[in-house]
Amino acid sequence: MSALILAGLLLMFGLGLFGGEKPGVTAASPTEAAPTENITPTEAVTPTEAVTPTEAVTPTATAMPTETVTPTPGGKASTETENPPLETAVYCLNVGEGSSTLFCSGTTAVLIDGGDARTSSYVVGFLKGLGIRRLQLVVATHYDSDHISGLVGAMSAFAVDEVWGPDYEGDTKTYTSFAEMIGKRSIPWTKVKDGQRFASDGCTVTVLASSVPEPLRNGADDGPEAGTTEGNRETGEDTSLALRVTLDNVSILVMGDSGAARERALVKKGAVEQYDIFLVNHHGSRYSNTAELLNAARPRYAVISVGTNDYGHPAKECIDRLVECGAGIFRTDLQGTVTLAVEGSTVRADRAVLTDPYEHPGGDDVQTVEHPADVSYILNGNSMVYHLPTCVNTAGVMRRNWFYFYGTAEEAEELGYRPCGTCIGKH
């Protein structure tokens, strides 16, 4: 009898008639099997914690920013600053008596030099017009103001993965602004060596020559090469990087303001091969673009980035040598921005080569501009004052020492600038 009672009790318990739960019900519950407390998407993958610029890339050690994705300076996710697919092309920007060249391939954009401060807004606007949000590499061939002033504006407007430059320090306020912007944006800055290489999306940049004379590296300025007459402040021909850029199967030679000594040294060590495109050295100076260099490079096209100047750029002697080597010549002062689209080994220019490359245009030093709608302030690199774009002191013009700035007032002041007493007021 007791055995029957015991069996009944066990049966009732197994059916859950005492308010208990069936074995296995708890384990089969979906919400309890994967509780949100244990794993959430945010906790499972945190890109900004998993990869930081310092941990992911050590520029001086690898100099290969393309080996990993560098998060946007300022902490934004990299997906917010990805470039759209870009046409494979070289854009020789019209920045007056300065130089700025954009190289695009795939979603990679490389900016070599940024022109003068007066044309900073044009450079930024042009890049934005292409849909660019990120510059994978920014290169200063040297630290003269007509090559780096516009880079200050570009670095304030776009995410930048890495900056390259020669191994010396400038002694100008423009250089100070350039260096401070790099620090403010926490951008890796590499003083490059010969053979250093960047590669991404079919675009490569290789350093052919990087040496800097010892007096310049130590802060002295001995002026230009002996025998020149281009002013004691010119240092570019002694310090400019020499670079080989390739897009698909097209090669481009970029040497900033290199002079005859740099050119001959490069030819002597066998570093100059045939090039499709040559960005003419030092705005067409007679003291650059030697016959030795041009006979070795034999460029199909030569682009002179030049504007109104007191140096006689481009010199007749330079153009004579370019014509002699058979290059088709473009000039930004006569033709504006020159676009050279690349497909395989084919180069398609958006305008015809010049039939008269010797022409000299007129003009003055102040550039009349319409300031971009999204610029925050205009910085005066000499007075270290920042202005509203509508300020009566800056309205409608840009000068050599002015920079477009896209950050906040606090960021401008952290860079050492103070507010204009006219348009902003003292505080």
Q: What is the pTM of this model?
A: 0.69
Q: For residue 396, what are the domain limits?
A: 377-419
* pLDDT given for residue 214 in this prediction: 65
Residues 253 and 400 in one domain: no
Q: How confident is the model at residue 189 (pLDDT cuts 50, 70, 90)?
A: very high
Indicate if the pLDDT at residue 202 is higher than 60.
yes
Q: Which pLDDT band, with edges at 50, 70 and 90, does 54 fall under?
A: very low
User: CA 379, CA 388: separation in Å to the nearest integer?
Assistant: 9
CB-side neighbour CA atoms (13 Å) of 314: 30
% of the chain surpassing 70 pLDDT: 71
pLDDT computed for residue 424 by the predictor: 87
The answer to the question of residue 308 being in a domain is yes
Residue 307 banded pLDDT, cuts 50, 70, 90? confident
pLDDT (mean) for 140-168: 95
Read off the pLDDT of each residue in 101-128 and give the average, rounded to a whole number.
94
Q: What's the total number of domains in the chain?
A: 2
Q: Determine the average pLDDT of the residues in 122-148.
A: 95
Answer with the one of 363, 387, 405 that is the final residue of a domain. Answer: 363
Within a domain: 25: no
Task: Give pLDDT, residue 222.
Answer: 37
Q: Which of 189-193, 206-210, 213-217, 384-388 has the lowest mean pLDDT?
A: 213-217
CA–CA dist 277, 342 (Å, integer): 11
In a domain, 60, yes or no: no
pLDDT grade for 291, boundaries at 50, 70 and 90? very high
Task: Give, for 266, the enclosing helix (H) or strand (E).
Answer: helix 260-268
- Give yes or no: residues 202 and 320 share one domain: yes
Inside any domain, residue 227? no
Q: Which of 145-154, 280-289, 385-394 has the lowest mean pLDDT?
A: 385-394
Confidence of residue 119 (pLDDT cuts 50, 70, 90): confident
- Highest mean pLDDT out of 23-27, 285-289, 361-365, 404-408: 285-289
372 domain-assigned: no
Contact 69, 86 (CB under 8 A): no
| 199 plus 286 within the same structural domain | yes
Angle at 403 between CA 398 and CA 408, to 5 degrees: 130
Of the given ranges (156-160, 176-180, 386-390, 397-401), which has the lowest mean pLDDT?
397-401
Residue 316 near residue 288, CB atoms below 8 Å: no
Over 60: is that where the pLDDT of 43 sits?
A: no
Per-residue pLDDT at 204 exceeds 90: yes
Same domain for 269 and 153: yes
Residues 335 and 394 in one domain: no
- Written as six digits, the tokens of 312 are 């006689």
Contacts of 204 (CB under 8 A, 6+ apart): 197, 198, 244, 245, 246
- Mark whether 304 and 391 lie in a shared domain: no
289 and 204 share one domain: yes
pLDDT, tens only, 316-359: 999 999 999 999 999 998 898 999 999 999 999 999 999 889 88
Q: Is 359 within a domain?
A: yes
Residue 139: strand pairing partners: 112, 164
Domain co-membership, 403 together with 258: no
* Cα→Cα distances 245→160, 253, 259, 316, 350, Å: 19, 6, 19, 27, 20
User: Does residue 356 sit in the same domain as residue 384?
Assistant: no
Domain containing residue 319: CATH number: 3.60.15.10
Whether residues 279 and 393 fall in one domain: no
Average pLDDT, the chain: 78
Q: Token digits for 209?
A: 């020559």
- In this structure, are 135 and 249 located in the same domain? yes
Q: Could you tell me which residue, 43 or 378, shows the higher pLDDT?
A: 378
pLDDT at 9 over 50: no
- Residue 8 CB: number of other CB atoms within 10 A? 10
Whether 255 is in a domain gets the answer yes
Q: Residues 214-268: pLDDT tens digits? A: 655 555 443 333 333 343 334 566 789 999 999 999 999 999 999 998 999 999 9
Number of H helices, E strands in the chain: 17, 23
Verify that 318 and 398 share a domain, yes or no.
Answer: no
Asked whether residue 34 is domain-assigned, the answer is: no
